[in-house]
Amino acid sequence: MAPTKAPDSSRRSDRSRRAIHEAALALVGEVGYQRTTIEGIAARAGVGKQTIYRWWPSKAAVLMEAFLGLAGRADEETGPRSDDAAQGIPDTGDLAADLKLVLRATVDELNDPALEAPTRALTAEGIVDAKLGAEFVAKLLDPQLALYVTRLRAAQEAGELRADADPRIALELLIGPLMHRWLLRTLPLTHAYADAIVDYTLRGLTPRP
């Protein structure tokens, strides 16, 4: 009689985690963050709620990890990338075109129903939960903002931007208006708006001589 193979607990844990992640993202999208509960996530994932509490301290922590996993899978699905693309922002020598390309992609992500609900939930919860907010910035925002800083510094070295311009302030001029319109839903978030932000940021508002 062949020996019985012991269950692979690591594989079982991976399956459970993936199911919990998917359940958390689905519920937030369907009923919103406030109505999403640990009990609801557990029932949707087919696990006991104690399993969730053993791995995460709160539903916010579950959603954070789930969102990071979603972003990671999205990167994997894009396949191999060139060196420029791997840096996040291409460097074609045309700063305006490069920034418009990236901001348009950001618009698409923010308008994606699969990403919008969990992103809004984490953003809102991070405002009232300082610890979660710091984690949100460290794990999700800072790595993306660093890509802008790198590209803007390259533009400075190439003479496309003022040498004394602060790259961090410059990237906030680009990202800030986009997030303001998205968070408050003041007007539609479109590619045309993304392009206008780049033009306004690089050219300014005062008349040229």
Mean pLDDT of 83-101: 79
- CA pair distance 205, 153, nearest whole angstrom: 22
- CA pair distance 153, 147, nearest whole angstrom: 10
**What are the pLDDT digits (tens) for 23-37?**
999 898 888 888 899
What is the tens place of the pLDDT at every residue in 164-196? 999 999 999 999 999 999 999 999 999 999 999
Q: Which residues contact 129 (CB under 8 A, 6 or more apart)?
A: 60
pTM for this model (two decimals): 0.78
Q: How far apart are CA 128 and CA 169, in angstroms?
A: 25
Query: Which tens digit of pLDDT belongs to each residue from 28-66?
Result: 888 888 889 999 999 999 999 999 999 998 888 898 889
Q: Cite the beta strand spans of 3-102 per DSSP E.
A: none
The span from the CA of 184 to the CA of 110, in Å, is 13
